[in-house]
């Protein structure tokens, strides 16, 4: 008889004590590492009531909804869900892993104490909630800073040309 493929049911191991704290961030609250978190370590579970996607279609939109598959969504809005305070970044150091209708936030880089933990919220969420206000992640701020510097340099060149011409 061929070996049957079985899904691993073991739950990812979390550190006993949380290696993070909720604190002030650029955009309100955020989650910050309090000790080194190694790459591939599970940081925290994204928790909340499980809703069917059909239920979500009927309800008012909620930015803490997290679709786990084509049928189910976790409503992460309860305050007990610490993972809801993790902010978006376009250059993240963590990533959500979905297993058996549960979501775990996992480090994808080594994270140093004091560093903010963030993950990419995905295109749909980004376009609906983040893009309208301008993304405040490091990558986007750096990009805007460079763009402003280029405009300033171009204006300076224009001024110099104008001075020489006069």
Enumerate the β-bridge partners of residue 42: 106
For 118, the enclosing helix (H) or strand (E) is strand 116-119
Please identify, using beta-carbon distances, which residue of 35 and 147 lies nearer to Zn ion: 147
Spatial separation of the C-alpha atoms in residues 117 and 94, rounded to whole Å: 7
Write each residue from 54 to 93 as x if it is in contact with Zn ion (CB under 5 A), else as -, in one continuous string: ------------------------------------x---
Nearest approach, Cβ of residue 88 and Zn ion (Å): 7
Nearest approach, Cβ of residue 137 and Zn ion (Å): 3
Q: Are 76 and 105 spatial neighbours (Cβ–Cβ below 8 Å)?
A: no
Nearest approach, Cβ of residue 120 and Zn ion (Å): 9
Nearest approach, Cβ of residue 87 and Zn ion (Å): 10
Please identify, using beta-carbon distances, which residue of 98 and 140 lies nearer to Zn ion: 140
Please identify, using beta-carbon distances, which residue of 42 and 126 lies nearer to Zn ion: 126
Spatial separation of the C-alpha atoms in residues 21 and 35, rounded to whole Å: 10
Spatial separation of the C-alpha atoms in residues 110 and 63, rounded to whole Å: 28
Please identify, using beta-carbon distances, which residue of 117 and 135 lies nearer to Zn ion: 135
> Positive or negative CA dihedral for 11, 104, 95, 16?
negative
Nearest approach, Cβ of residue 139 and Zn ion (Å): 5
Residues whose CB falls within 8 Å of the CB of residue 84, separated by 6 or more in sequence, listed in order: 46, 48, 64, 76, 77, 78
How many chain residues touch Zn ion (CB under 5 A)? 4
Residues 104-163 contacting Zn ion, CB under 5 A? 135, 137, 140
The residues that touch Zn ion, with contacts defined as CB under 5 A, are 90, 135, 137, 140
């Amino acid at each position: 008889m061929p070996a049957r493929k079985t899904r691993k049911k073991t739950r990812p191991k979390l550190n006993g004590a949380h290696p993070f704290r909720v604190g002030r961030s650029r955009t309100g609250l955020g989650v910050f590492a309090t000790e080194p978190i190694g790459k591939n370590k599970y940081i925290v579970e994204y928790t909340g009531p499980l809703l069917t996607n059909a239920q979500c279609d009927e309800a008012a939109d909620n930015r803490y909804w997290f679709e786990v598959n084509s049928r189910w969504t976790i409503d992460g809005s309860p305050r007990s869900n610490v993972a809801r305070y993790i902010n978006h970044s376009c250059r993240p150091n963590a990533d959500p892993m979905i297993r058996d209708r549960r979501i775990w936030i996992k480090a994808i880089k080594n994270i140093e104490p004091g560093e903010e933990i963030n993950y990419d919220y995905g295109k749909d969420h980004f376009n609906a909630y983040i893009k309208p206000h301008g993304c405040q992640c490091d990558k986007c701020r750096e990009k805007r800073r460079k763009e402003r510097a280029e405009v300033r340099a171009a204006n300076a060149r224009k001024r110099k040309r104008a001075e020489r011409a006069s």
